[in-house]
Amino acid sequence: MPFIPHTEQDVKEMLKNIGIQSIENLFDEIPASLTQVSLKAIPSGVSEMALRQEMAERAANDGGMLCFIGAGAYEHHIPAAVWEIATRGEFMTAYTPYQAEASQGSLQLIYEYQTMISSLMALDVSNASLYDGATALAEAILMAVRLSKNGKSSLLIPRSVHPYYREAVKSIVGQQNIKLIEIPYQETTGKIDVDMLSAMMNDDIAALVIPQPNFFGVLEDVDQLTDWAREQKILSIALVNPIATALLKAPGEWGKEGVDIACGEGQPLGIPLASGGPYYGLMCCRQSHVRQMPGRIVGRTVDKEGKQGFVLTLQAREQHIRRAKATSNICTNQGLMVTASTIYMSLMGPNGLRRVATLCHQRTRELVDALTTIPGVEVVFEPPYFHEVLLRVNQPVKAVLSALASEGIQGGFALNEAYPELADCLLLCVTETKRTEDIKRFAHALRQVLAGSFLSGSKAACQA
C-alpha cells in the first residue's frame, strides 16, 4: 500500500470546506506562549555521516565499564537468538493490530506473551503491555481508583518505591485529584511497617502499592501486607521485578488471596540497556477487574469454521471507541519490546528464568561478602534482599564513585538526591552477568579507594 500524502490542492480544498485560512488555525486553542518558544539549545540538523560519527564517538564512552548499577534498569544476558528473531521484518515493522483479521501473527505473539506473563504473576489476565514500568504503576493506581467506585481517591505509596516511578506517578495522577500518601520505610529494615500503615489508614484510601523487591533491593513482607489491604477492604497493587518473580512467590499468591493488580518494568526480560529505553510496562489483574484494565488485550477464539483465530478483545473501553472516556489514553502496547521478551521467555523457560534469578541472588551475596570485609563498608538494611543491596561507605560517595569510574567500574547508584538521609550509601546490583573475578576486581578497587590510595586525587578533581 503506497503512502500518498495530501497534495497542496487537497489541503486547500479541505481548509476551504471547513472555513479556515490555514492549518495553524486548527491549533488556535493552544496559547501562543507555548507554540512560539525558541529552542535555542537545539542545534540545526547535521548530515547522516556527521551524525554517525558523533554517535559512534558517544557510544564508545559507554563501553567497557563493569557495571554494578541497577536502580530500575538491569543488565542481563540476552541470548543472540532473541534480537535475531525480533528484528525480522515481520515483527520489526508490525504496528498495533487494529485490523485483527489481517494481523494474526502479531496477535498470536501478544497472546503468547500475555499467557507467559500472567502465569509468571499467577494472575488471571495480562494486557498486551504498557509504555514502561513507571507509567504501568500510574495506570494501576488509576485503575484502582476506578475500581473502588465510591469516590475514594487516596493511595498509599511507599517511599521505598523507585523515586523516578513516584515522580512519573505524580505527573500522571496528580492532575486527576488523586492524593498520594507516602509511607515511610523502617529505618532499621528498609521495609514497610504494617503497624504504621494501620495508623495512616483512612476512609478515602483506595489501594496500597507493594514493591517487591523495593528500591533498596529489600524484600517486603508481602503476605502480611496483602492480607492487611484485604482486611481494610482496599485493593493491593504489586510492583515487581519479573526476574525476581521467577524465584519468589508470585503476586497472585501473596497472602491468603493474592493481590488485585500486578505491574512492573519488563526490561529485565530480554531488553538491553540502551540509554534509558525503550522499555515496556507489564500489567496483570484478576478476572473480576478486567473491565477497568487499561490497554489492549488479545483473546483467542474460533472462526465460523471452527478454526483458531486471535482478536483484540474488550476494545469498547479504549480510546478509539470511547474517546475522552476511555479507561486510559496511553493504551498502545510496546510491540517490539514484547516480541523480544516473549522470545526471551520462550528460550529461558520457567527453569531458565529461575536459574537467572538464583544466580543474580548468589552473585549479590558474593559481592556483599566480599565488600563487607573492607574497613569502612557496612550493609545498611539486614537481609533478605534480592539482587540489589544498600551499602554505607565511610568516604564521600561522589568521590568514591568517580575513583571507581576511573578504574572502569560503575560502582553503584548514589542516593543523595532521592534520599538525602542515605547520602552516604551506594545502591549496588549484581546480575548473572558478573563473574567471580569481576566481583573480586570490584572489591579490590573499592578497598584501595577507601584506603585512600587514589581518593585524594579524584577528590580534588571532583571539587575542581
What is the DSSP code string of 316-365? GGSHHHHGGGSS-S-----HHHHHHHHHHHHHHHHHHHHHHHHHHHHHHH
59 binding other proteins? (CB under 8 A): no
The size of the chain, in residues, is 464
Angle (nearest 5°) at CA 109 between 104 and 110: 100
316 binding other proteins? (CB under 8 A): yes
Task: Give the max Cα distance, the chain.
Answer: 78
| Given 256, 322, 435, 440, the residue binding other proteins (CB under 8 A) | 322
Site size toward other proteins (CB under 8 A) is 8
Residue number with CB closer to other proteins (102 or 321): 321
Q: Cell digits for 166?
A: 513516584
Residue number with CB closer to other proteins (12 or 291): 291
Helix axes 163-173, 133-148, angle to 10 degrees: 50
Nearest distance in Å: CB 325, other proteins: 7
Q: How far apart are CA 320 and CA 115, in angstroms?
A: 25
Taking alpha carbons only, the member of 109, 115, 67 closest to residue 337 is 109
Nearest distance in Å: CB 321, other proteins: 6
Helix axes 397-405, 455-463, angle to 10 degrees: 110
Nearest distance in Å: CB 120, other proteins: 28
Residue number with CB closer to other proteins (277 or 309): 309
Which residue type, as a one-letter code, is found at position 190? G
321 binding other proteins? (CB under 8 A): yes
Q: Binding segment for other proteins among 118-126, 170-178, 321-329, 442-450 (CB under 8 A)?
A: 321-329
Run of H or E residues at 53:
helix 48-62
149 binding other proteins? (CB under 8 A): yes
Residue number with CB closer to other proteins (143 or 340): 143
Residue number with CB closer to other proteins (312 or 443): 312
Query: What are 237's strand-pairing partners?
Result: 209, 261
Strand pairing category for 409-410 and 125-126:
unpaired
Window 257 to 296, contacts with other proteins (CB under 8 A): 291
325 binding other proteins? (CB under 8 A): yes
Residue number with CB closer to other proteins (307 or 325): 325
150 binding other proteins? (CB under 8 A): yes
Q: How far apart are CA 114 and CA 125, in angstroms?
A: 7
Q: Binding segment for other proteins among 4-12, 202-210, 315-323, 450-458 (CB under 8 A)?
A: 315-323
320 binding other proteins? (CB under 8 A): no
324 binding other proteins? (CB under 8 A): no
Nearest distance in Å: CB 316, other proteins: 4
Would you tell me which residues interact with other proteins (CB under 8 A)? 149-150, 291, 316-317, 321-322, 325
